[in-house]
Amino acid sequence: MVEIDIAPVQSTNNIIGSNTTTNCPPGHKCVPLYLLVCFAVLTTILISVHLFAVMISTCILPHIDAAESEGPSDGMESPHFELHKYIELAWGFSTVVGIFLFLCEIIVLCWVKFITIDEYAALAGTCTMIPVLVVFTVFACHFYRRLSRHEYRRHSRQINELKRMAHANLKGSGFNAGENTV
């Protein structure tokens, strides 16, 4: 059986007077407004970042799959090349920025939840999450540097291979690159 507690109806004088007093019950601490604002802003940004990433992946990636299924092309008309910046932006938002914001959200949530009970509990949550945030940031930077270094080396090998092929073609055609022919 469920019990329902119905509060007595307040008189008009109590309702008018409640606008000038705090909404906290007597003897209880309230969560400071700045924490609630911080929590609301972080939550909104976090959701916006993930929605942007989802929008990119649901709008762009199906078109890329469709272009790939049409068969081989010259590659330059594929959406991969035109939209790669948006795809990388969505990846960066959903992974790096999204996880960073989520970890910050947990810190703020610890304060919102525990500041009215015990500030040491909120501080303990913060002290636990700060090393996680630092490790995540270091790992993300390290991973991005390794990925960038790999991309640079791969493109350098491709450019050197193209130079080698161009030089071989010029030699095979009897054209001497050192001569000035007009």
Quick one: pLDDT at residue 172? 74
The closest of 27, 173, 41, 12 to 105, measured between CA atoms, is 41
- Selected residue with higher pLDDT from 4 and 54: 54
Average pLDDT value over all residues in the chain: 77
What's the pLDDT band for 106 if we cut at 50, 70, 90? very high
Positive/negative CA dihedral, 163, 167, 172, 176: positive
Q: Which residues contact 130 (CB under 8 A, 6 or more apart)?
A: 107
Q: Are 107 and 37 in contact (CB under 8 A)?
A: no
What are the contacts of 29-36 at 24+ separation with CB within 8 A?
29/115, 29/116, 30/116, 31/112, 31/115, 31/116, 32/115, 35/108, 35/111, 35/112, 35/115, 36/112
- Selected residue with higher pLDDT from 56 and 133: 133
Tally of domains within the chain: 1
Residue 15 within a domain? no
**Radius of gyration (C-alpha) of the chain in whole angstroms:** 30
Domain membership of residue 98 as a residue range: 30-133
Say if residue 29's pLDDT is above 60. Answer: yes
Quick one: pLDDT at residue 70? 67
Residue 124 within a domain? yes
Residue 175 within a domain? no
Quick one: pLDDT at residue 34? 92
Quick one: pLDDT at residue 65? 66
Residue 58 within a domain? yes
Say if residue 164's pLDDT is above 70. Answer: yes
Residue 35 within a domain? yes
Residue 169 within a domain? no
Instruction: Give the CATH number for residue 50.
Output: 1.20.140.140
Say if residue 71's pLDDT is above 90. Answer: no
> pTM of the entire structure?
0.60
Say if residue 171's pLDDT is above 90. Answer: no
Quick one: pLDDT at residue 44? 94
Say if residue 22's pLDDT is above 70. Answer: no
Which whole number is the average pLDDT over 22-30? 70
Residue 144 within a domain? no
Task: Give dist(CA 92, CA 132) in Å, integer.
Answer: 19
Task: Give dist(CA 12, CA 155) in Å, integer.
Answer: 75
Residue 79 within a domain? yes
What's the pLDDT band for 41 if we cut at 50, 70, 90? very high
Which whole number is the average pLDDT over 139-148? 83
